[in-house]
Amino acid sequence: MNIVRGYGTRSKSKKMLVFFILIFVGTGINFTGADLVNQLSLPLYLDSIGTIIAAMFGGYVPGILVGLVSSFINGFLTDPKATSYGMLNTFIALFATWANERGWFKKIPTILLSIPCLAFIGGTIGALVTIGLYGVGGGEQTKEIVKYLIAEQHFNEFSAQIVGDTLVDLADKAISVGIAVGVYNLVPQSVRGQFRIHAWKQAPLTRDAVKTLINNKTRTHSLRVKIMVLLGLGAALVSIASVAISYLLFKESIVEFAVYSGDYISQEEIEFRSLNYLLNQVTLFVGVFVFIVAVVLYLARYHVILPLNTMAYAASKFTERDLHSLEEMANLFGQIQIDTGDETENLYKIITEMTQENSEFLNAIQKKNATISDMQNALIVVLADLVESRDNNTGDHIKSTAEYVELIMDEMLSEGIYKEQMTPKFISDVYQSAPLHDIGKISVSDVILNKPGKLTDEEFAIMKGHSVAGAEIIDRVIDTLPESEGGYLYEARNLALYHHEKWNGTGYPYGLKGEAIPLSARIMAVADVFDALVSRRSYKEPFTFEKAISIIEESAGSHFDPLVAKAFLNAKDRIRFVAEEKD
């Protein structure tokens, strides 16, 4: 996934201008709607249209701010108690943003579902606030319907206020949602995107990347949840203390005022005014608290959560522990450009430098390893040539068998023969070590190696000893290396020791049978015998290609692994090319 966006971001001044325009327009729409219903004396509010629009266009922070500003201005201009309704506006903004992010306002069923949800906030919860502030029948827009429910439908005062406010709010929110959705859809998507303000402290990310990184799974609770919990606990403790103190002071001030003025105030009146004041303070605090949480989470999203999760994602690219994935990780770290100016940025710079240095270091190591590998291969060929130069009978046997081995393994891989064993490492190790299969002949006398006629039984016994001698030579090399560094030498040992074993158990040196013989040795057995058949020796003429092929075919299941022999026979056209090129 390409997480970095292909274009930059706007300047801070442009972002702030758009932000304030959205707040100003949203607040203006709220007051325009409220003024319209007052002028027409309609039993509606229409004072949350701007809040819903701001939430849909800008998200949580603009929506909540429009709701709070509208309530504060209304409280300043009309009734100070109206600021208590700021809590309801923040809840409306929260729901509108949540619903819009989940596509509720794109489908008619969910649009219709959003109306009672918003009506519950503005009507049902709002009715409880109204009763607490003004008593039953305190709301101007619902006064008549509440009276009707009490007089005609025999509702009690409390339930009449709840039902009346909810019914009015259903109609109000149906109109408000309809207008907000209409405005949102009339604005082109390219323009709507301009109202989403991102406080990037890194290279801007794609929308899909943000969604993935924000919802990153964690072992326990995410950092976002921890921030919200800590902030909530801290704010709750402070608010409880401050509200309790202000409540007690307000209650005392009422009593002192009554004593000073000489007016009589009953205990019930004192309690009502005190509780009324307490409700006003609590609702005001809840609205402001929700706004503070939204702002803190918004800033934490761009200053902490996204930078940390982006670094974690970039680091996860180093999964294969190879140069390519490390280079990909280093390139991604170079692209994200975290610029928080704090400890997160320090961590980013350290990881970026370390990743770049590790990439360069691993690149240098791989180049050195390639050089060492080339040197090893060259030494193998030189060593094999030294052995071959002592044997006048073998010619290019070592090089030819290596090529036959490669062709056999290629065919086995394509046919899926022993596919679990035919790994890239196995194929590489066998091919690299193939020239060493006759390394043990270095311990055999030149007289025996170059004897023109048939060997005696004693001489043949000595000749057969080259397989064990070869394994011992390679064992001494392996013993000088750490256990993990043996590499292809383990397969070289198998080739040297077992390439004269036969499938039916009549071979040497140990008479192993079937799959007890290492696969690499079973492959070499076919290549070794075929090359001997088609090669000229001092004691024999070469067989024709067809004759050699028929011998291999006849020996499948007795001398050779039948599956390996099958792969060899299926690759005979390529085998013929190598054999003829040798001639």
- Token pair, residue 401, equals 């068998």
Domain boundaries, the chain: 1-197, 215-303, 391-582
- How much is the pLDDT for 513? 95
Please answer whether residues 414 and 563 qualify as being in contact, where contact means their C-beta atoms are separated by less than 8 angstroms. no
Please answer whether residues 165 and 127 qualify as being in contact, where contact means their C-beta atoms are separated by less than 8 angstroms. yes
Q: How far apart are CA 248 and CA 240, in angstroms?
A: 12
Q: How far apart are CA 212 and CA 2, in angstroms?
A: 12
Question: Between the CA of residue 355 and those of 235, 309, 332, 493, 524, what are the distances in Å?
Answer: 41, 17, 10, 39, 44
- How much is the pLDDT for 323? 62
Is the four-CA dihedral 115, 116, 117, 119 of positive or negative sign?
A: positive
Is the four-CA dihedral 413, 414, 416, 417 of positive or negative sign?
A: negative
Residue 320 is given by DSSP the state: S
Q: How far apart are CA 254 and CA 251, in angstroms?
A: 5
- How much is the pLDDT for 78? 74
Please answer whether residues 470 and 440 qualify as being in contact, where contact means their C-beta atoms are separated by less than 8 angstroms. yes
Q: How far apart are CA 392 and CA 88, in angstroms?
A: 100
- How much is the pLDDT for 77? 79
Q: What is the pLDDT along the chain (583 residues), one digit of tens a residue?
A: 677 876 667 788 888 999 999 999 999 999 999 889 888 888 888 999 999 999 999 999 999 999 999 988 887 777 677 787 888 999 999 999 999 999 999 999 999 999 999 999 998 898 888 777 777 766 667 777 877 887 787 788 888 888 888 899 999 999 999 999 999 999 998 888 888 888 888 888 888 778 878 777 777 777 777 887 887 787 778 777 776 776 666 666 665 555 555 555 666 666 666 667 777 777 888 888 888 888 888 888 888 888 888 888 887 766 555 566 777 777 888 888 888 888 888 888 888 888 888 778 878 877 887 776 676 666 666 666 666 665 555 557 778 898 999 999 999 999 999 999 999 999 999 998 888 888 888 888 878 877 777 888 888 888 899 999 989 988 888 887 766 555 678 898 999 999 999 999 999 999 999 999 999 999 999 999 999 898 877 667 889 999 999 999 999 999 999 999 999 999 999 999 888 876 6
CATH class of 1-197: mainly alpha
What is the residue type of 423? T
Q: Specify the CATH architecture of the domain 391-582.
A: Orthogonal Bundle (1.10)
Using CB atoms within 10 Å of the CB of residue 454, give its burial: 0 to 12 exposed, 13 to 18 middle, 19+ buried: exposed
- How much is the pLDDT for 390? 58
What three-state secondary structure class fits 205?
A: strand
Please answer whether residues 463 and 444 qualify as being in contact, where contact means their C-beta atoms are separated by less than 8 angstroms. yes
Question: Between the CA of residue 436 and those of 104, 383, 440, 467, what are the distances in Å?
Answer: 72, 8, 8, 11
Say which residues have a Cβ less than 8 Å from residue 501's Cβ, sequence separation at least 6: 507, 508, 509, 510, 511, 512, 517, 521, 522, 525
Q: How far apart are CA 63 and CA 183, in angstroms?
A: 15
Residue written as token pair 């170079």 = 334
- How much is the pLDDT for 204? 83
Please answer whether residues 205 and 211 qualify as being in contact, where contact means their C-beta atoms are separated by less than 8 angstroms. no
Provide the whole-model pTM. 0.63
DSSP string, 389-420: HH-TTTTTHHHHHHHHHHHHHHHHHHHTTTTT
